Structure 1
Amino acid sequence: MANTKPTLTRFKDAMRQVYGSFDDLTAEEATNWTPPETPGAGGHRGRYLWTDAFGVLNFLTLYKESGQLLYVELAKSLVRTVHDVLGRTRDGTARLPGASNETPLKGGLRIGKVDADGRDGDGQYHHYLTLWMFALNRLAVCTGDEKFNNLAIQLAKAIHPHFVYTTVSRSLCMVWKVSTDLKRVLVASEGHLDAATGYVVYSLLQRTAGRLNYSFVPHSLTTEINEYWQMMNRKEKRTMSPSSDTLDLGMGLWMCHLAGNELWANTLGEESLSLAHRVLNPERGFTSRAAGRRLAFREFGFCLGIQTYGRDRFLAHKVEDVLQFWNEHSETFSDDDLGPISSVMYAAALKPGAFYVRPPGSRRNS
């Protein structure tokens, strides 16, 4: 049966699946709110960095929709909790190596995997960390409070040298995953668009710092931004091409919209839109499969990217079709291990809100 609830109601329902009842709090109560471990974001001690980054941004979207300060306070409280849980060792007794209470993100942030070790054990992912930086940046812009962008820059500078290295041929490369203490490489392959995402997010942090006259050195991230740019333009490997994976394709489009009218982003964005048409083939694309053979959260990332980058009429209708499909199959994604990540990404796909940024030179509308 089709879900006929208003979009904003479905958005809030999805957020409640992860964060419990929050609408009955006052703004003052929200300042002391602790997000629940159960249902929670699905990770270690109830926290998972990717899911909670979406949670912060979704709360900011609710503020944008309603004007209620309650949602800003909830976003702040979620940030505080993530830093207190994922910015500490798994037993919670100490900050991660290199960090302190005064500089809580100098040791990075754990992913929040349930298992400490193993193939899918805890560690740090570059693409999770850059998404968290973006969430902090949007909170800074929303509140006018410089400390959140400063924290994002603190995190950016801390983790960069642990993911980027120089090869024997003097080329710069990246690794996918490092240990929670940032000392060991756990997955040596390079994330497909990690360098480009680093470039656009670090550039956004630096622009925000300069525009709002923060106390940070205006060009404090120039070295890191230049290194990402070098990796994006390596001759021996084309690092900027669209992926047919729905989540990668969507998050790539979201990343491109952050870059505004930079030529590389326009080129990659248009190639990605063309590929989006192909992966939606009604006979061979992902929409031809039954719900049990589809991963909802990956498709929600696809929808988010198309909406933030800019849609043609065909893709606009297809995004509506995908969301309607999952409206009718919400039980498929809301009750399994991927329920939390699927729920927050479903909300973001319904209303991208805080995910959209109008970069300098951009002609696209929100």
Structure 2
Amino acid sequence: MRDDASTAAVRDLMAEFAARTGLDPSGIRPRRYLWTDAYAVCNYLGLFRRTGDASYRDLALRLVDQVHHILGRHRDDDRRTGWISGLSEKEGEAHPTRGGLRIGKPLPERGPGEPFDEQLEWDRDGQYYHYLTKWMHALNRVRRVTGDPAYTRWAAELAKTAHAAFTYVPASGGGKRMYWKMSIDLSRPLVPAMGQHDPLDGFVTYSELQMAGGSGCGGSLQSDLSPEIVDMAGICREGGLATDDPLGIGGLLFDAGRVVEMMIRGGFAYIDLLASVLDAARTGLAAFVGSGALEYPAAYRLAFREFGLSIGLSGVDALVERIRENPDLFGRQSPVQRRAGALVEYVPLAGRIERFWMDAGNRQTGTWTGNREINTVMLATSLAPGEFLAI
């Protein structure tokens, strides 16, 4: 899709999202969902950069404010009130991410005495680590565009809070592990299993914030994420990365792009990690393509998971080029360069996924309408991924 056509499509998709969720025009009860909103912030910033229209920058800032004042506070149906951090109103305004951020699920979180129901848990509120890291990244993008250091400070505070709550040492001993889902107040795990890519995502995102300067936090000890980065590096060594889930593969490609860029900028030397991530992405892509999932009708496909892949694939050409441009760092015809180059054959899948879901008929199915906001926003990101993929 040509740049002018993709910009027009993204404008329309993001206008639909803003109207449906109470962002613009502002609703009495806006509906906020942390994962979707992180991508949406990047999309509005991208529109601002591409068009010069300041109203898109303002929408991004308004969305950040809504997220903090809705997902940083207790639910309306909760007996608890105020900031989930427990801070006073004044302190909460200054540090809105200090207690983490709710997911934004429709049902209240499972109470301490309630039995676990795997199916019901998907619709219950709480905090997801991988949603928090996406929000850290979005806040850092806001700081890059606006120059306001408060956004990276909030991202770093969120990183410290999330790390302290989600990581733990098992009672049986061994290295640190991570919980997948925590309660709203971060006092107890709701799902104790560890997300496959959560340690990698945390390691890369913390490193992104650290490279941003502790930026915005004046390099103070409070903003130094070195201990958390060391922790995550250790947890990353514990498990495999390969997956045939398209959203997971896209996440690997997103992380690989950030690792390459941070290595080029200096102060980040993890060539072995990069090789492992690239290998896992290629293995996953081969398995996903071999599964024939892209041949299924729309009723049997989840658009937002496929968009995760198309977004990641959109960054592959730039990743390969950045490696090629820096032979002193990555080597000439090095194993890393060959690994990255092997991903190029899969890049056309991004356009194939976008064309399928741009078909209005495919967006009439329940798998689209039942996840309309996240599908809409991630389609927009896939059509114009530059701001999301940047660091």
TM range (shorter): 0.7 to 0.9
Structure-2 separation of matches of 1:309 and 1:233: 24
CA deviation map 1:226-284 (0-9, x unaligned): 000010113xxxx2422101111111211221111532123322431343134223xx4
Q: Establish whether residue 74 from structure 1 lines up as the match of residue 81 from structure 2.
A: no
The code of the aligned residue for 2:220 comes to F
Task: Quote the residue 1:304 is aligned against.
Answer: 311
Number of residue pairs the alignment of both structures matches: 335
Q: Quickly say closer, same or farther: Cα 1:169–1:249, change in 2 above 3 A.
A: same
Q: Displacement, 1:98?
A: 3.6
Query: Do 2:42 and 2:387's aligned partners in 1 also have CA atoms closer than 8 Å?
Result: yes
Q: Deviations over 1:108-166 (max 9, x none)?
A: 10000000034231000000000000000010011111000000011111121110001
Q: In the TM superposition, what is the alpha-carbon distance from 1:20 to its structure 2 partner?
A: 2.2
Residue 317 (structure 1) aligns with: 348
Deviation at 1:319, TM superposition (A): 1.4
Change (3 A) 1:37 1:189: farther
Q: Partner of 2:109 in structure 1?
A: 117
CA distance in 2: counterparts of 1:339 and 1:210, whole angstroms = 36
Look up the SS of the partner of 1:186 in the other structure.
Answer: strand
Q: TM-score, normalised by structure 2?
A: 0.79
Distance in 1 (alpha carbons) for counterparts of 2:349 and 2:197: 25
Of the three residues 138, 141, 144, the one matched with 2:141 is 138
Counterpart residue number, 2:174: 170
Q: 1:317 to 1:335 in 2, by over 3 A?
A: closer
Corresponding residue number in structure 2 for 1:327: 358
Relative distance call for 1:230 and 1:35 in structure 2 (3 A) is farther
CA distance in structure 2 between the aligned counterparts of 1:142 and 1:337, rounded to whole angstroms: 33
Read off the aligned partner of 1:182 and give its amino acid letter.
Answer: L
Question: Cα deviation per residue 1:292-334 (whole Å; 9 max; x = unaligned)?
Answer: 1111110000101111244755323221111111111233379
Q: Name the Cα RMSD after superposition.
A: 2.6
Is residue 49 of structure 1 aligned with residue 34 of structure 2?
A: yes
The correspondence of residues 25-64 of structure 1 with structure 2, limited to 5 A, is: 34-35=23-24, 45-64=30-49
CA–CA distance in structure 2, aligned partners of residues 271 and 158 of structure 1: 29
One-letter identity of the residue aligned with 2:256:
C
Which residue does the alignment assign to 1:86? 71
Gaps of 5+ in 2: 111-120, 264-269, 321-342
Comparing 212-221 with 151-160, greater Cα deviation is found at 212-221
How does the TM-score come out when normalised to structure 1?
0.84
One-letter amino acid of the counterpart of residue 275, structure 1: G
Q: Are the structure 2 counterparts of residues 86 and 218 from structure 1 closer, same or farther at C-alpha, using a change threshold of 3 Å?
A: closer
Alignment deviations for residues 324-362 of structure 1 (CA, whole Å, 9 cap, x no partner): 11111233379622000000000111110112226xxxx
* 1:16 alignment partner in structure 2: 15
Asked whether the equivalents of residues 334 and 343 of structure 1 are also in contact (C-alpha less than 8 Å), the reply is no
Distance 1:313 1:229, change over 3 A: closer
Over 3 Å counting, the alpha-carbon distance change for 1:270 and 1:214 in structure 2 is same
1:215-226 equivalences under 5 Å are 216-217=220-221, 220-226=224-230
C-alpha distance after superposition, 1:55-80 (max 9, x if no partner)? 10100111121122221111111000
Letter matched to residue 103 of structure 1: H
Q: 1:160 aligns with which of 141, 160, 163?
A: 163
Checking the alignment, whether the CA contact within 8 Å between 2:204 and 2:259 is kept in structure 1 is yes
Answering whether residue 132 of structure 2 is matched by residue 129 of structure 1, we say yes
Alpha-carbon distance between aligned partners in 1 of 2:366 and 2:234, rounded to the nearest angstrom:
39
- Aligned residue for 1:6, secondary structure, equals helix
Query: In the alignment, which residue of structure 2 is the partner of 1:353?
Result: 386
Distance 1:291 1:36 in 2: 31
* Change over 3 Å in CA distance of 1:194–1:36 after alignment to 2: farther
Percent of pairs identical after alignment? 33
Tell me if the contact between 1:209 and 1:218 (Cα under 8 Å) persists in the aligned partners.
Answer: no
Flag the 1:21–1:46 CA change in 2: closer, same or farther, 3 A: closer
Decide which of 102, 119, 133 is 2:94's aligned counterpart: 102
